[in-house]
Amino acid sequence: MKTFKLENEPKIEPGFKTPDHYFENFSIKMMKQLPVNEPKIISIFQKRKLLLMLTAAAILILALLIPILSPTKSSTKELDTVALENYITYQSNVNQYDLINGLETKDIEKINTSIVLEDEAIEDHLSTNSNLENLILE
């Protein structure tokens, strides 16, 4: 292996050269290109704008939550007695024993009230009713 000596080898010249008097005016040219330091201006209206946006967002959220959080009245309708009687009448699988089993003792005691009918009222009803045969069969 050959010995390598740095001083004896031919030197390569650099490809870049600085122009004449470049560094003499460099700082002046650089200072002209820099922006002038202006004081930062903070607008008063930015805080007011932010406060206005936050207020609007809070109002919107509350408006959306009111239907969820407020108690609503249920719109359940009471059962119509005629519709209930018709339903029970036309259901073939419901008999009187099923109805009695579904009632409580208080309800049964309320039903046991005696109804006083006069004979004349019964005769009038039977004479005007055309379904006399159905009444007899029941």
pTM over 0.75: no
pLDDT of residue 103: 79
Query: How many domains does one find in the chain?
Result: 1
Q: Which domain holds residue 112?
A: 81-131
Q: Give the angle 113-119-121 at the CA atoms, nearest 5°.
A: 85
**Is residue 119 one of the residues assigned to a domain?**
yes
Q: Is residue 12, in this structure, part of any structural domain at all?
A: no
Query: How confident is the model at residue 135, as a pLDDT?
Result: 62
Residue 85 maps to a domain: yes
Within a domain: 107: yes
Contacting residues for 103 by C-beta, under 8 A, at least 6 apart: 111
Is 44 part of any domain?
no
Determine, yes or no, domain membership for 23: no
Written as tens digits, the pLDDT of the chain (138 aa) is 677 777 777 777 777 888 888 888 888 888 888 877 777 877 777 778 888 999 999 999 999 988 888 777 666 667 778 887 788 778 767 777 777 787 788 887 877 777 777 888 888 877 887 777 776 776
| Residue 8 maps to a domain | no
C-alpha span between 85 and 103 (Å, rounded): 15
* Within a domain: 101: yes
